[in-house]
C-alpha cells in the first residue's frame, strides 16, 4: 500500500511539473514599451526583456545617448490595407529620402499590389505581418509557419521578389514558443520602443496632439511604430521627419538595427 501511495505522489508531482512547463511555454504576452521623459531610451519591462534572447528587437542599444552626434530612428509601419493614406506616406518618404519598413498583410497584396511593388522599388523593407493578422500567441508552430509562408508565397507571386525575414506579431501578441520557432527558422522579430493610439481611423486625435506625442517621446535608437492608414499620420509625417532631421536624427534600416 505504501509503495502504491508513493507511486501516486510521484506521478502527481511529475504531471504537475509537465503541466507547469507546458503552461510556461504557452504563456502569452502582449508587447508594450512605456514612454519615458527627457528623450531617454525606454526599457522593456522585466517580464518582456527575454525577447532579445530569441532574435527579437525593439530598440537599438548601440545608440543610447540623447545628445550623441549620431542619432538614429527606425521608421516602421504596420500596413494592412490602403485607404488613400498609405500612398501619401510613401510620397512623403520619397520626398524626404527616408527609408521605412512596412509590415504587410495578404489583404494589401491582393487589393493594392502596385502599392506593395512601389514599396520595394523605392527602397523600403517589406516585412511579414502574417497573412491574416491572427493572434499568433495562440498558434502552434505549424499554424504560424503557414501564416508566414502564405504571405511570402503571395509576395513572390505578385512582386517577383523574396519577402524579408523580418516578422512582427499581429497586435504585438506572442508567446515564448513563437519566438523560439521563428528564430530557429531564420526570422527576426521586430517590436517597437514607441507607438501611440493611431490605428483607429474613427478615433484620430488632433494633428497637433499627435505630433506633440511623437516628438516628446523621441529617443536615440528608437523603433517607431506608425500605422500608415492613419489620416493624422499622413498629415503630420513630413513635418515630423523634418523636425527630427533638424534635431540631428537620421533614419536607419532594419538591416542596420539587426546587424544583418
Active site residues: 78, 227
The C-alpha cell that represents 47 in the structure block: 517580464
Question: What is the C-alpha R_g of the chain?
Answer: 21
The C-alpha cell that represents 153 in the structure block: 508565397
Packing angle of the helix pair 2-25, 176-184 (nearest 10 deg) = 70
Q: What is the dihedral of CA 227, 154, 189, 19, to 10 degrees?
A: 110
The C-alpha cell that represents 239 in the structure block: 513635418
CA count, 13 A, side-chain hemisphere, 224? 28
Class of residue 206 by CB neighbours under 10 A (exposed 0-12, middle 13-18, buried 19+): exposed
Residue with cell 510620397: 91
Q: Which helix (H) or strand (E) holds 130?
A: none
Angle at 186 between CA 182 and CA 192, to 5 degrees: 60
Amino acid at each position: 500500500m505504501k509503495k502504491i501511495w508513493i507511486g501516486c505522489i510521484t506521478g502527481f508531482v511529475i504531471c504537475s511539473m509537465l503541466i507547469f512547463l507546458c503552461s510556461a511555454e504557452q504563456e502569452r504576452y502582449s508587447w508594450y514599451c512605456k514612454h519615458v521623459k527627457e528623450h531617454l531610451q525606454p526599457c522593456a519591462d522585466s517580464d518582456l526583456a527575454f525577447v532579445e534572447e530569441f532574435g527579437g528587437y525593439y530598440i537599438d542599444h548601440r545608440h543610447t545617448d540623447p545628445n550623441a552626434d549620431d542619432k538614429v530612428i527606425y521608421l516602421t509601419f504596420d500596413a494592412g490595407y490602403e485607404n488613400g493614406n498609405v500612398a501619401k506616406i510613401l510620397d512623403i518618404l520619397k520626398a524626404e529620402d527616408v527609408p521605412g519598413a512596412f509590415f504587410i498583410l495578404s489583404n494589401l497584396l491582393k487589393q493594392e499590389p502596385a502599392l506593395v511593388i512601389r514599396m520595394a522599388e523605392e527602397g523600403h523593407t517589406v516585412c511579414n505581418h502574417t497573412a491574416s493578422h491572427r493572434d499568433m500567441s495562440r498558434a502552434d508552430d505549424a499554424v504560424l509557419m503557414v501564416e508566414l509562408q502564405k504571405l511570402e508565397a503571395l509576395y513572390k507571386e505578385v512582386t517577383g521578389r523574396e519577402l524579408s525575414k523580418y516578422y512582427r506579431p499581429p497586435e504585438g501578441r506572442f508567446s515564448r514558443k513563437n519566438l523560439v520557432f521563428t528564430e530557429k527558422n531564420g526570422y527576426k522579430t521586430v517590436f517597437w520602443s514607441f507607438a501611440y493610439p493611431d490605428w483607429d481611423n474613427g478615433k484620430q486625435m488632433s494633428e497637433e496632439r499627435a505630433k506633440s506625442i511623437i516628438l516628446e517621446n523621441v529617443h536615440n535608437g528608437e523603433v517607431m511604430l506608425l500605422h500608415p492608414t492613419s489620416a493624422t499620420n499622413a498629415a503630420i509625417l513630413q513635418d515630423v521627419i523634418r523636425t527630427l532631421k533638424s534635431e540631428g536624427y537620421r533614419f536607419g534600416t532594419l538591416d542596420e538595427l539587426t546587424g544583418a
